[in-house]
Amino acid sequence: MPLAEANFFGIVVAIQQKAGGNLSEALGNLSRVLRERKKMKAKIQAMSMEAKASATIIGSLPIAVGLLVYLTSPDYISLLWTTDLGRIMIAACAMWMSIGVFVMKQMINFDF
């Protein structure tokens, strides 16, 4: 079975078979270790969900602010897509935002 818990169980039984000793104590220790691993996995997942929510807010904030500025005063922000310098600035900002989102995604993803 390609499961870490099943592998642990097999190792514990094999060691107990060769070394002898109290099997119930070894299985109790194994169950405690597996419960602690499960708690740690849940804790890591909860912390990463908090970071993902923060990253989503940070990533969508420039778009939301741009939309609100466009809705309140369209002449003020229209320079960004009517002039060459504005288009270059939008492209540069989109590139940097993409890089930032990629970096945040790499920082948030945990292998456990």
* Rounded Cα distance, 16 and 1, in Å: 20
Contacts with 109 (C-beta within 8 Å, 6 or more apart), sequence order: 48
Return the DSSP state at 39.
H
Q: What six digits make up the tokens of 84?
A: 């060459």
The length of the chain, given as a count of residues: 112
pLDDT at 31: 87
pTM (two decimals): 0.60
Average pLDDT (32-58) is 88
- Residues 50-107 pLDDT 10s: 888 888 898 899 999 999 999 999 999 999 989 999 999 999 999 999 999 889 888 8
| Helices 4-19/23-72 angle, 10° precision | 160
